[in-house]
């Protein structure tokens, strides 16, 4: 997968500004970060972690997970070497931004484990200290499209009402930005549609297997 510098070069090339005469690398990085956040809200990474319980403890911090968006499921008690099927899903609650409460009547003894499922933002190698790009090829293309849209939109707004010697008028830039933003929104919507269709298919299979 591509690194930050490779994606920045790709955005600049798509914008016809390979030499960064209009958009600096720093500006494109900011727009790329914004597009990555938008994409992550639609199609985040799906991860899990096994947490060892502590005796008589129902509250567990989640700082070790790193940045995460949402806790999606929790299995307890969980034995990694012999997972229970179907898994037990006790009540739980996210009581602080990075602490969850295990709502069980009998407190853990410390011998049990918890398997936690969560979503997290995507990363790009070289961006904000990340060492890995977690986007697939399609995701990279969508994020590059979005970053370019944000870049053109920002320039159009900055030039609105200004007198320039450029052949590009603020109106032309605004139209270009609108077209790119529309394509970005449509691409995100398609990703969302496919994600929801996949979820519906899993629900249908689950229902069929219980009949």
Residue 95 lies in a domain: yes
Decide: residue 74, CB within 10 A, 0-12 exposed, 13-18 middle, 19+ buried: buried
The reported pLDDT for the residue numbered 160 is: 76
Question: What are the pLDDT digits (tens) for 95-126?
Answer: 999 999 999 999 999 999 999 999 999 999 99
**What tokens does 148 get?**
């370019």
What pLDDT is recorded for position 200?
Answer: 67
Q: Give residue 96's pLDDT.
A: 94
Angstrom distance (rounded) from CA 127 to CA 28: 12
User: Distance between CA 39 and CA 59 in Å, rounded?
Assistant: 31
pLDDT score recorded for residue 202: 54
Q: Are residues 92 and 70 in the same domain?
A: yes
Alpha carbons 206 and 190: distance in angstroms, whole number: 24
Q: What range does the domain containing 56 cover?
A: 45-120
Q: Locate tokens 């006790």: which residue?
A: 90
Which residue ranges of the chain lie beneath pLDDT 50? Answer: 165, 203-207, 209-211
Classify residue 130: in a domain, yes or no: no
- Cα 205 to Cα 121, 142, 165, 198, 199: the distances in Å are 28, 30, 62, 11, 10
133 within 8 A of 125, measured Cβ to Cβ = yes
The residues facing 70 across adjacent strands are 119
Q: Is residue 185 a part of any domain in this protein?
A: yes
Domain termination residue (choose one: 61, 92, 120): 120
What is the C-alpha radius of gyration for the chain, rounded to an integer number of angstroms? 23
Residues 104, 205, single domain; the answer is no
- 149 and 206 share one domain: yes
- Looking at the fold, whether 199 and 141 belong to one and the same domain comes out as yes
């Amino acid at each position: 997968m591509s690194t930050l510098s490779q994606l920045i070069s790709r955005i600049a090339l798509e914008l016809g500004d390979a030499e960064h005469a209009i958009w600096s690398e720093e500006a494109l990085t900011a727009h790329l970060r914004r597009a990555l956040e938008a994409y992550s809200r639609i199609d985040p990474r799906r991860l899990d972690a096994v947490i060892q319980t502590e005796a008589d403890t129902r509250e567990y911090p989640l700082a070790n997970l790193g940045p995460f968006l949402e806790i999606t499921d929790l299995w307890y008690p969980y034995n990694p070497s012999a997972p229970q099927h179907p898994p037990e899903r006790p009540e739980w609650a996210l009581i602080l931004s990075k602490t969850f409460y295990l709502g069980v009547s009998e407190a853990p003894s410390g011998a049990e484990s918890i398997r936690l499922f969560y979503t997290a933002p995507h990363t790009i190698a070289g961006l904000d200290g990340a060492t890995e790009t977690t986007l697939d090829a399609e995701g990279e293309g969508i994020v590059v499209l979005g970053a370019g849209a944000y870049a053109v939109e920002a320039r159009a707004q900055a030039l609105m009402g200004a007198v320039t010697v450029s052949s590009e008028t603020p109106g032309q830039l605004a139209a270009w930005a609108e077209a790119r933003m529309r394509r970005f929104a449509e691409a995100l919507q398609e990703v969302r549609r496919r994600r929801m269709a996949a979820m519906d298919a899993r629900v249908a299979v689950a229902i069929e297997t219980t009949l």
